[in-house]
Structures are given as structure tokens and as C-alpha cells.
Structure 1
Amino acid sequence: MDSNVTGNIATIGYGLATLGPGVGLGIMIGQTQAATARQPEVSGQLFRNMIIGAV
């Protein structure tokens, strides 16, 4: 394979590698929003925990 084809395959691999974290963050943020809707009085604490979890 020449280097151009190898580079294109690597680019596709990097793109696919971003799917896992993207799905994980989407689930985490969605669950935080659902918990905030159920108990709005703890929204600040939930937001803080979500940010810590994302880091």
C-alpha cells in the first residue's frame, strides 16, 4: 500500500475511535438531564458531578 491509502485508513480509524466517547458522553448528559427533571433542587450538584465525570 502506498502512504496515501494508509493515511486514509488511519483517518477512518480515528473517526471510528471517536464514536465510543461520543456515545458515552451522550448517555451521561442525558441521564443528568433526566435526574435534573426529576429533582431540580439538586441540579447544581448533579452538574458538578457530571463535569467531574467528564474529566
Structure 2
Amino acid sequence: MLNGSGYSMGLRGEKIPLIARIMAVANAYSAITIDRPYRTGWRPNMPFLPSPQG
């Protein structure tokens, strides 16, 4: 349940250990950039958001 309640230990914001926040970002980056059987991973030079110039 992702409702901001800090599941499962009630931790939010600065109460979440720094290493846990770093690992969450690293895990998300890995999930996005690694090739999967059903899709090609994003390459590091691919922008996450479209450029404002078009």
C-alpha cells in the first residue's frame, strides 16, 4: 500500500536511512537500464524526459 504512511515501519523522509534511499535510487536505475526479455533497457545517454526544444 503506497499511501505515504511509511509502510511497514512508519518511516518517512529523513527517518529513512541514507543508505536505503541511495539503494532505492540505484535499484530503480538498474531496473530502467538493464535489458529484459520483453524490452530493451534505456541507455545512459537517453533522456528520461523529452527535451523542451522538441
TM-score where L is the length of structure 2? 0.36
- Bigger relative contact order, structure 1 or 2 (CA pairs below 8 A, ≥6 apart): 1
As a proportion of its length, which structure holds more helix?
A: 1
